[in-house]
Amino acid sequence: MSLARRLLTGSGRASLVAYDLSPLVEAGALCHSMTVTGDLVVACLADDAVPATTWTDGPLRVRLDIVKEAPEWAVRITACAVHLLGELEWLPGELLPQYLADAGLDQRVTELATATGGRLGIIRTDRVLVHDSAGVLPLSFGEVAGVHPATGQPWSGRSFPDAEQEWEARDQVGRLSSEELAELVFAAAAGWGAGATLSSRAEVTCAHTEGQVYCVDVDRTGLTLMAVELGRATVHFLAFGKPADSIDELIDRLDQLVNAACGQPTE
């Protein structure tokens, strides 16, 4: 649920295809987010070469894909994705200022929507598919866009870490030594209760990746690591004892995770 919300609120790279239009051209230069009331929106510049971005005749059936890569410098890892089918409706220009004033969207979406040739569209759907190392999980859109348990109000449109916080969060994971990362991987593989092995598959590895542990994702709920060894890539999830909703809380949860993993028996 947390992963789906992060992707829908702005993490990852979004693209859409209007499968009823010809030619079938993907719109890939998009910003996306969710409003404070739970609307899923996309912003783009109108482009005559991409019919979906210039459409004006009412709702348009689309497929939206949001793909997120791991926050790593040395390798490219597709961490997760969200896919959905829905209806896109572009907001008329005269309604845009008031809608943006009430939407609580991040600055990137607002700037693109209000640029010369910019457009803002609302996508309505009933279901999303979350695809990660563990497989594919369907969720209702209402679940993902629902209310905040603490306030009873719609989610603010942001989650932790959001797109702007992701690399700062990754820097905190970078504080962990290679020995500590290896200990986390070992504990998860050994069946530690806070860890789970999501996948393991044969991979063609290079010399610089063999024996390395990479950060696939860092989320308010835990840490996802990939260990590469002997021609295999194995992905593990390490759950925090409590969710982290700030960088300071993330630092604390990582320290707790490492301390707990290092206390696990080796046999």
Q: What is the CATH number of the domain that holds 106?
A: 2.30.110.10
Reported as a pLDDT band with limits 50, 70 and 90, residue 204 is confident
Q: What is the pLDDT of residue 267?
A: 42
Residue 243 belongs to domain spanning: 166-262
116 within some domain: yes
171 lies in the same domain as 64? no
CA neighbor of 221 nearest in space, from 4, 69, 71: 4
Determine, yes or no, domain membership for 54: yes
What percent of the chain has a predicted confidence (pLDDT) above 90?
76
pTM attached to this predicted model: 0.90
Q: How many domains does the chain divide into?
A: 2
> Pick from 88, 113, 144: which residue ends a domain?
144
Between 47 and 163, where is the model more confident?
47
Same domain, 20 and 110: yes
Is 151 domain-assigned? no
Say whether both 183 and 62 belong to one domain: no
Q: What amino acid occupies position 266? A: T
* Position 154 in a domain: no
**Do 173 and 248 sit in the same domain of this protein?**
yes
Q: How far apart are CA 25 and CA 193, in angstroms?
A: 46
Q: Is residue 160 part of a domain?
A: no
Question: Tens of pLDDT along 96-108?
Answer: 999 999 998 989 9
Phi, psi of 19 (to 5 degrees): -80, 0
CA 243 to chain centre: 16
Helix (H, G, I), strand (E, B) or coil at 119: strand
Assess whether 119 and 33 both reside in one domain.
Answer: yes
Which one has a higher pLDDT value, 218 or 36? Answer: 218
Residues 122 and 225 in one domain: no
- With a cut of 70, say whether residue 153 has pLDDT above it: no
Cα 149 to Cα 66, 78, 155, 180, 198, distances in angstroms: 26, 30, 9, 34, 28
Could you read off the pLDDT of 37-82 as tens digits, one per residue? 889 999 999 999 999 999 999 899 999 999 999 999 888 999 999 9
**Final residue belonging to a domain, choices 82, 109, 144:** 144
The average pLDDT across 247-267 equals 84
Q: What is the pLDDT of residue 22?
A: 86
Query: Residue 107 is which amino acid?
Result: Q
pLDDT computed for residue 169 by the predictor: 95
CATH number of the structural domain spanning residue 207:
3.20.180
On the question of pLDDT at 203 being above 90, the answer is no
- pLDDT given at position 216: 96
Q: Do residues 233 and 121 share a domain?
A: no
- Does residue 67 share a domain with residue 37? yes
Q: Are 116 and 46 members of one domain?
A: yes
Please give the residue that has the higher pLDDT: either 54 or 211.
54
The C-alpha atoms of residue 254 and residue 245 are separated, in whole angstroms, by 13
Lowest-pLDDT range of 9-18, 63-72, 111-120, 204-213: 204-213
To which residue do tokens 């309604």 refer?
95
Query: Which tokens hold the place of 58?
Result: 């009412």
Answer whether residue 156 is part of any domain.
no
Decide if 157 is inside a domain. Answer: no
Q: What's the mean pLDDT when you consider all of the chain?
A: 91
Q: What is the pLDDT of residue 74?
A: 84
pLDDT at 36: 86
Q: Do 137 and 24 reside in the same domain of the chain?
A: yes
Backbone angles phi, psi at 87, to 5 degrees: -115, 130
Same domain, 137 and 242: no
Contacts for 267 with CB less than 8 Å, ≥ 6 apart: none
Region 186-206 average pLDDT:
89
Residue 155 has pLDDT above 60, yes or no: no
204 domain-assigned:
yes
Angle between helices 247-262 and 166-174 (to 10 degrees): 30
**What percent of the chain has a predicted confidence (pLDDT) above 70?**
94
In this structure, the answer to whether residues 207 and 247 fall within a common structural domain is yes
**Which residues contact residue 220 at a Cβ distance below 8 angstroms, ignoring those fewer than 6 apart?**
2, 159, 160, 161, 240, 243, 244, 245
Residue type present at position 173: V
CA distance 197 to 221: 16
